[in-house]
A and B are shown apart, each in its own frame.
Chain A
Amino acid sequence: MGSSVSSKPSLPDSSARFRHHLPPNDLRRPLVNEISQQLVNGLALGAVYALIAIGYTMVYGVLRFINFAHGDVFMLGSFAGYYLAPRVAQWFPLPGWAGWTLVMVLSMVICAAIGILIELLAYRPLRDRPKLTVLITAIGVSLLIEYTCQHKAVFGASQKAFPDLLPAGVFKLGGLSFNTTQFVVLGVTVVLLAALTFIVKKTRIGMAMRAVSHNASAASLMGISNTFIISFTFGLGSALAGAGGILYGMTYTGIDPLMGVNVGLKAFVAAVLGGIGNLPGAALGGMVLGVVETFAGGMSGVSTYRDGIAFAILIIILIFKPTGLLGSKQIEKV
């Protein structure tokens, strides 16, 4: 039936597809350099995973289900950037920092709105239904977004080249060299994670989120509006996915309507890896997965199995530590 996970371009696994991958005049680096460069690439990829993984983990925290459509929200973030860029460029020059910031913020807002809308239309009518039903609905929403976007009247199925948003350049930090994009990807991720941590830990609404996540019915008895918190959670997670979409677009040339499937699945793996429901865990899981995948992709003999690696890690983790790297042990009540 139609297209498939695999027919989508998976994450690029050769440096040829990196836009700013190789700094000039630096083609014969020693091994150490090669390794550190791979580490930077891995961290940049991991940062994108981390941003998306947080959305999965937050939604799982409050609603206990896998929002399969989350990867597609990430894709929509990329496309929002793609279509916004030429319009923003009329006022602010692109590539340029001001224009980039505006594209970033607008995409995040658009994605937040889409996330809230998805919850409102598809998931809210299913509150209190069996998890399986919600999961299938989520997959349905994901398919709906993918196939609608593939239609020629929307984005079309073909790959599009993401516009340059930032001027090219190389940063050196210790022994590592970053290009502008990688530097920004990591920087933005750190800033967003810090902001998120602040919201969740220090604000009233963050406290309410944690309460709902801990025990939704008790929270509701305490006067917390679950409905609002759930909407807020979807908005926040989707905004991060939108940011991830822009950062991904900046790092890799091609974007297409099915890009969210593979990246989304892997980000989910990252969330599970870190212990689902656990925010720092999701960030850590994303980073670990990004680095492992990048190194595996660079090794001959393993590189073709790259797409399987995320799942192999997932299965091993779940068999030996089912609650993830940072998850706590649970004892079943009998």
Chain B
Amino acid sequence: MSATLLELKDVTIRFGGLVAVNGVNLSVPEGGLIGLIGPNGAGKTTVFNMITGVYQPTAGSISFRGSPTAGLRPHALTKGGMARTFQNIRLFGSMSVFDNVRVATQVHRPHGIREALWRGRSHHAGEKEVEERVMDLLQVFSLQDFRDEPARSLPYGGQRRLEIVRALATQPKLLLLDEPAAGMNPSEKEELMHLIEFIRKRFGMAILLVEHDMKVVMGICERIAVLEYGIKIAEGTPKEIQVHPKVIEAYLGASALHE
């Protein structure tokens, strides 16, 4: 396997007396596609929020691209090459589809207040370049026809896709998807799996997928880690996970009955 991109070592977080995540180890190799699953309330999103700097772990360490992320705020981590989506979609609702993606390109741009105020040649060149990049991205995800629509007017699936596009516009090395299949029907989930594989091929980044839905994860992930009550109970290939007794007990047992 190739070099490690993201590494969690004994990561623990407490909220008051509650230990939400306890001693979790996880590593994501460059270009890898890793799944993080577990029943509701297992601490998946909390792990996510620690990786992206929203919460600081109480103990343990996280390193990204070889350097520790402790104390770094989310925007700094994004600048360093991490981008995420949210479980409950968080688009910039009043802004157009185009602007949602456009604003995400700012993170690596040298242009700031000065260019915006002076409106000189370099400003116009820069804005043109942004427009081209954004339109390319929108086209790839067939959102170009909605460019001037307010983001909140998009249908649900469109909003999910837009969130991914927006994350991609920050040019991440690691894309973190937080329950992207939430609220989707089976055919939409199918589509989503293709989309994720496509993104990985086309943009060549690592993806960490937090998911509640087993099918999505089993279908595309190379490795899967399973959380329960804040503890990692298993890790391995989808095949290994499927037969792992602890996982079946904790998770598959209940959900397999439903399927």
- The distance in angstroms between the C-alpha atoms of A334 and B74, with both chains bound, is 12
Contact between B15 and A334, CB atoms less than 8 A apart: no
Contact between A331 and B49, CB atoms less than 8 A apart: no
- Is residue B86 contacting chain A, with contact meaning CB distance below 8 A? yes
Binding site of A, secondary structure by majority: helix, strand, loop or mixed?
loop
- Is residue B144 contacting chain A, with contact meaning CB distance below 8 A? no
In whole Å, how far is A309's beta carbon from the nearest beta carbon of chain B?
Answer: 34
Per-residue 0/1 for B42-75: is the Cβ within 8 Å of any A Cβ (1 yes, 0 no)?
Answer: 0001000100001000000000000000000000
Inside 8 A of B15's CB, which chain A residues have their CB? 331
Interface residues of A in 302-334 (CB under 8 A from B): 331, 334
Q: Which residues of B does A touch, CB under 8 Å?
A: 15, 45, 49, 54, 86
Inside 8 A of B49's CB, which chain A residues have their CB? 334
Inside 8 A of A331's CB, which chain B residues have their CB? 15
Name the interface size band of chain A: under 10
Q: Which residues of A does B touch, CB under 8 Å?
A: 331, 334
Q: How many residue pairs at the A-B interface have CB separations less than 8 Å? A: 5
Of all A-B residue pairs in the complex, the 3 with the closest CB atoms, nearest first, are A334-B54, A334-B49, A331-B15
Instruction: Give 5 pairs: A residue, B residue, CB < 8 Å, sorted on A.
Output: A331-B15, A334-B45, A334-B49, A334-B54, A334-B86
Cβ-closest chain B residue relative to A332: B54
Cβ-closest chain B residue relative to A331: B15
- The distance in angstroms between the C-alpha atoms of A331 and B86, with both chains bound, is 17
In whole Å, how far is A118's beta carbon from the nearest beta carbon of chain B?
Answer: 31
- The distance in angstroms between the C-alpha atoms of A87 and B51, with both chains bound, is 71
In whole Å, how far is B47's beta carbon from the nearest beta carbon of chain A?
Answer: 12
In whole Å, how far is B17's beta carbon from the nearest beta carbon of chain A?
Answer: 13
Inside 8 A of B86's CB, which chain A residues have their CB? 334
Cβ-closest chain A residue relative to B74: A334
In whole Å, how far is A323's beta carbon from the nearest beta carbon of chain B?
Answer: 14
Cβ-closest chain A residue relative to B84: A334
Cβ-closest chain B residue relative to A328: B16
Inside 8 A of A334's CB, which chain B residues have their CB? 45, 49, 54, 86
In whole Å, how far is A328's beta carbon from the nearest beta carbon of chain B?
Answer: 10
- The distance in angstroms between the C-alpha atoms of A56 and B244, with both chains bound, is 57
Cβ-closest chain A residue relative to B178: A334
- The distance in angstroms between the C-alpha atoms of A243 and B25, with both chains bound, is 61
- The distance in angstroms between the C-alpha atoms of A334 and B84, with both chains bound, is 12
- The distance in angstroms between the C-alpha atoms of A334 and B176, with both chains bound, is 14
- The distance in angstroms between the C-alpha atoms of A334 and B47, with both chains bound, is 12
- The distance in angstroms between the C-alpha atoms of A37 and B17, with both chains bound, is 45
- The distance in angstroms between the C-alpha atoms of A281 and B152, with both chains bound, is 39
- The distance in angstroms between the C-alpha atoms of A331 and B13, with both chains bound, is 13
- The distance in angstroms between the C-alpha atoms of A334 and B45, with both chains bound, is 8
In whole Å, how far is A129's beta carbon from the nearest beta carbon of chain B?
Answer: 16
- The distance in angstroms between the C-alpha atoms of A331 and B45, with both chains bound, is 14
Inside 8 A of B45's CB, which chain A residues have their CB? 334
Cβ-closest chain A residue relative to B16: A329
In whole Å, how far is A152's beta carbon from the nearest beta carbon of chain B?
Answer: 47
In whole Å, how far is A330's beta carbon from the nearest beta carbon of chain B?
Answer: 11
- The distance in angstroms between the C-alpha atoms of A334 and B15, with both chains bound, is 15
In whole Å, how far is B13's beta carbon from the nearest beta carbon of chain A?
Answer: 11
